[in-house]
Amino acid sequence: MDSNGIPEKQGLEGDGDLQFLMKGGDLLKVRSGSWKKTRYYKLQEDCKTMWHESKKTLKSKQTFSVEDIDEVRTGRQTESLRKYTEESVEGRAFSILFKGRQKGLDLIASSEEEAKKWVGGLEKVISNIKNLTPQKKTEHWIYSCLRKADKNFDNKISQKETKSFLRDINIEVSEDYAEMLFQKCDKSKCGFLEGKEIEHFYEILTQREEIDVIYEEYAKTDGLMSAADLLNFLLNEQKEDVSQNDALQLIEKYELDENAKAKQQMTKDGFLMYLHQPEGLISNLAHKRVYQDMNQPLNHYFISSSHNTYLLEDQLKGPSSTEAYIKALLKGCRCVELDCWDGSDGEPVIYHGYTLTSKVLFKDVIKAIQENAFKTSEYPLILSLENHCSVEQQKIIAQHLISILGSALITKPLGDQMPTCLPSPEELKGRFILKGKRLDKLEDMFSESKTADEESVTEEEDDEGDEEDQEKKSSSLKLAKELSDIVIYCKSVHFHGFEDSQDKQSFYEMASFKEGKAAKLAEESANDYIRHNIDKLSRIYPAGLRTDSSNYNPVPLWNAGCQIVALNFQTACPEMDLNRGLFLQNGQSGYNLKPSYLRDRDTKFDPITLPDGPWLKNKTLHVMVITAQQLPKVSERKSSIVDPVVKVQVYGVPADTTMVETQYIENNGFNPMWNENFQFDVRVPDLALVRFSIEDYDSSSNNEFIGQYTLPFNSLKNGYHHVPLLNKNGDHLSSAGLFVHIMVVDAE
């Protein structure tokens, strides 16, 4: 922090790329073939905000936060740049892509060297912001609000500006309290705060009373925590299986005061730092990496799956885009949908048939998939093909898949003999599996019999994705042998009942179920459905009436052992929060091993009736909701301060599903305190998810969503922990968090 209480430039002082960004320059903004205009861009002094204006008029000044950037992509790597620019600008082009649904920027610099400076500078600033400690993030945020409150830019804050500032940081206080706070900091009695007085003001605001109480309880060594004191805390409160050496490592890693570190002690600041780090967060750190057995057959896993992956918005008129695939893949999705139709010029296209959604070339989608498939997870990607194409264009589809995906595409079974079960995620690392129709049986690949070059296959309801438009489809589809031959482990078949499947369905054959039918089976024939899913894959998809791309509750389908529960990834909703929460574990690989009783052919498990069995582990979950920090405003109105209420929900088998909520705190989104205790009885913890959500309470209408975090019950850690908060799109809310105490014990 400098002498005026303004945060330093995040350790980038003197960096050439940063100085280039702060000086700014002209970039050509591309929107279409005819709309290409020069705009002036520069990084503002706070190193967090990009400012840009039109060349013709200085009136249209706009800003965006660097924290809202999802990715800076070099070259002509977006649909717009490939479509509207020449190959000659490849080295000068780059794109800024944003989180959520905010439209990206396609830009061209005047030279390749300048493009590298823009990209390099932005990546450094993004990286620095990501790597800021939680305390530094708070500091930066508070000081940017202080700067905003300083109306006359004199680096001094008047009493009136103090009140305005407090509203900006989401807290409403009485005139008396604001005056008391101001007088306490105004040591010079000159009617405004500056320099050290602003720092004192900051310290009062960011004091964490609840942390002070915990720290003082255990800091028994000259007012500080020794390694033995910290170990005492880790054993007694956090219930961790650790040694004094682990405590010493935490001091070495997170203590900020070098003198204390030299004495192997932890200050209050170091303790708070630790509580904000992965070791202090609510989710089990060991579950952040792949920790499950990945050598079981594919059908023994829940698989993160997307429906109509190509859509960015609704199902009727929204845009289709390769970006939608990239976003889903980067979120760990392991099954994407390809809705293929005949296109012009002999090139198949992907879009939602019989609607006004835009079209995207099949080959462009496959290229985008090939480039991004294994960035988040190295485990296999299933390409769920919904085929509406003529035989000729089906051959083109097969050609594109083989030429673009190359040897990574599974085109024959692993090994030299006919397999008896599906391979494992481990065996299929880095591979693509095509799901679709096949003319013959897989066994025929190992026999002398020949298949015709093309043949009709009947298209029946529930065979393949979105069959709500049955009346619009022909009753049969000619299938090209070239496409049929590369469907190996996921052959689409119709479901005729559990007995029929048991007798006739091979392990590599799988059915798709509309959500309503699947939910009925999961409720009325849960054990039969579970047994069906023990050696066969099932895919569930949303009903056709969900034209707004809304989602269904996936939990009952997971309880019934369904693996591919496909959701609309483009839609921000509680159902996607649950999907994100389930697949948060196991290294975000997109594959979660099902509990043993969902893999046992003789299982008696039924999530509805809950008979006795190894699944009944009967736990009691105690949750104390203590405080929240720096919640964002949900309304743009300056005077609008949130009234936060916390909801804690358990999702799982019906007997475990429940919700509680705190009282709401009036006019305080900055540091609300609840100290409320709740208790949950959880019978089947293996299938339970816990969702913490914060809403802005409204007595006259629905509460407004602020943030949430969902995680598997078995990933909860005991003790005092911060809960990170995600926005609707699943992006982290910088600085915001919830502080809770968790205790899981065996039920009596």
Residues annotated within a binding site for Ca(2+): 308, 337, 339, 386, 641, 643, 667, 696-698
448-474 core/surface letters (b: 16 or more CB in 10 A; e: else)? eeeeeebbebebeebbbbbbeeeeeee
Nearest 5°: phi and psi at 298? -50, -35
Which amino acid is located at 310 in the chain? Y
Nearest 5°: phi and psi at 68? -85, -5
Angle in degrees, 0-180, between the axes of helices 175-185 and 196-206, rounded to the nearest 10? 130
539-556 core/surface letters (b: 16 or more CB in 10 A; e: else)? bbbbeeebeebbbbebbb
Distance CA 299, CA 510 (A): 10
Region for residue 283 given its phi and psi (left: phi exceeds 0; alpha: psi -120 to 50; beta: otherwise): beta
Contact 592, 301 (CB under 8 A): yes
- Could you list the residues known to form a binding site, using ranges: 29-56, 308, 337, 339, 386, 435, 437, 512, 539, 641, 643, 667, 696-698
Concerning whether 307 is annotated as a catalytic residue, the answer is yes
User: CA nearest 157: which of 205, 118, 214, 98?
Assistant: 205
Question: H-helix or E-strand containing 628?
Answer: strand 619-629
Q: How many C-beta neighbours within 10 Å does residue 694 have?
A: 28
Q: Tell me which DSSP letter residue 352 carries.
A: -
Distance CA 680, CA 659 (A): 9
Give pairs for 195-201: CB < 8 Å, separation 24+.
195/3, 195/4, 195/5, 198/4, 198/5, 198/146, 198/157, 199/1, 199/5, 201/157, 201/162
Out of 307, 400, 722, 741, which one is annotated catalytic? Answer: 307
Nearest 5°: phi and psi at 537? -85, 145
Distance CA 487, CA 436 (A): 6
Contact 562, 533 (CB under 8 A): yes
Q: Which two tokens stand for residue 645?
A: 């209420």
Q: Tell me which DSSP letter residue 287 carries.
A: G
Concerning whether 532 is annotated as a catalytic residue, the answer is no
Distance CA 404, CA 401 (A): 6
Out of 287, 300, 352, 741, which one is annotated catalytic? Answer: 352
Distance CA 386, CA 569 (A): 18
Count CA atoms closer than 13 A to 304's CA, side-chain side.
30
Q: What is the chain's alpha carbon radius of gyration, rounded to the nearest angstrom?
A: 28
What string of DSSP letters covers 78-123?
Answer: SHHHHHHS-GGGGGGEEEEEESTTPPPEEEE-SSHHHHHHHHHHHH
Q: Which two tokens stand for residue 307?
A: 């429906």
Catalytic residues: 307, 352
